Structure 1
């Protein structure tokens, strides 16, 4: 379960609620009259608490889910909701951004993504970043810092079939003190290649849709 906790400037908890399937935490806070920024993500025994520093704002309506190609009533009735929490990192060293190429099994073969992946039960998001970076790129990172929470809700048909998919991505920055030639250690997984890409060449790289807003969140776009 994902719990969103909002704390005001006096340190008081003013909002606390489970994140509903398909919801975005910032939008859910705004619907309750609060605006804020994420300050921590704490995992305990498979559960995750997203902590936000908040201030009051007028409530706004929640954003609905994205809709895929039209589905029949019978199709909708048999879709099982699936929520995936993952941690990713923006890692820049020597003017280059670390990217991973998605393998055919992902349904987005050949496109490039930030390194990262699903959080294992009992694992902290920071530990996930360190582990995934090693598995996908062979790089050792430290100074992992949470900077944003990004969500996407998709209902429709995809390469995986019919799905009601809620992606919750914890975006971090991390430092790679000794960058080396990337090596994919998790052979047969979701990553087929890894590369340090010069920042001035990013426009020529075909990236997944979540990369540009992630780069904007850390001031790189």
Structure 2
């Protein structure tokens, strides 16, 4: 499987008392919260996303015993409309780190270019981790490369996971598993926007006020985040 986290992903569950009660590998296509629910745990907020001693990405969640509700069901894998049922995609897992960055001018967004499947759409600054790179290091690097801004990282907001079979911009059919680690951040000293990652997937970056957000075409992954408006 093609992946940017060669040592794999582990999901950890920790109780309010600080006891680790779950340690399990995350299979291709799985969502961490679905895995924990299936094991009988009610899932709280994600608490950390760090590299373990062996280089695996460890996603830690607050958990408590599941009571009165069935475990979360695994959703069916979505297929893009142009992908026939018999087509088998090449497995590709991509872990990325992103930030909802607030500063005095507004919230910082980036626009996708034609190298992506969603050119013209807007999203959060961030992107795929380099091999062996921690999510914290990765999000600082990506924000700088895509916008030229230095940030102060805040808490982990959410971990998103999506699984679908679709066609990459290269035309290759992929069985794609996206894992997105999202932080809240501030930019105490906003400067001129500069895209350092020339040749990357970012066509533009800008500060956006709350009033302007509704008029932008945003990817589904980001448009419903309450943190965009400071919530």
TM-based fold match above 0.5: yes
What is the alpha-carbon distance in structure 2 between the residues aligned to residue 153 and residue 191 of structure 1?
23
What is the alpha-carbon distance in structure 1 between the residues aligned to residue 18 and residue 103 of structure 2?
36
State whether structure 2 residue 34 is matched by structure 1 residue 60.
Answer: no
Q: Which runs of 5+ in 2 are unaligned?
A: 1-7
State whether structure 2 residue 54 is matched by structure 1 residue 39.
Answer: no
Q: Is the 8 A contact 1:149 1:171 kept in 2?
A: yes
Which residue does the alignment assign to 1:49?
58
What is the alpha-carbon distance in structure 1 between the residues aligned to residue 106 and residue 115 of structure 2?
27
- The Cα offsets for residues 118-163 of structure 1, whole Å up to 9 and x where unpaired, read as 1112211111111111100000011342111011111134544311
Q: Which runs of 4+ in 1 moved over 6 A?
A: none
For the residue of structure 1 that corresponds to 2:212, the secondary structure is helix
Aligned length: 217
Q: Is the 8 A contact 2:105 2:207 kept in 1?
A: no
Change (3 A) 1:61 1:111: closer
What is the alpha-carbon distance in structure 2 between the residues aligned to residue 46 and residue 64 of structure 1?
30
For the residue of structure 2 that corresponds to 1:83, the secondary structure is strand
Q: Is the 8 A contact 2:112 2:118 kept in 1?
A: yes
Structure 1 residues 33-112: aligned runs within 5 Å: 33-36=40-43, 37-44=45-52, 46-57=55-66, 58=69, 59-69=71-81, 70-73=83-86, 75-76=87-88, 79-94=89-104, 96-112=106-122
Q: Is the 8 A contact 1:146 1:171 kept in 2?
A: yes
More helix per residue: 1 or 2?
1
Q: Which runs of 5+ in 1 are unaligned?
A: none
For the residue of structure 1 that corresponds to 2:108, the secondary structure is strand
Normalised by the length of structure 1, the TM-score is 0.91
State whether structure 2 residue 143 is matched by structure 1 residue 133.
Answer: yes
Q: Is the 8 A contact 1:33 1:60 kept in 2?
A: no
Normalised by the length of structure 2, the TM-score is 0.87
What is the alpha-carbon distance in structure 2 between the residues aligned to residue 191 and residue 218 of structure 1?
19
Which residue does the alignment assign to 1:169?
180
Which residue does the alignment assign to 2:16?
9
Which residue does the alignment assign to 2:5?
none
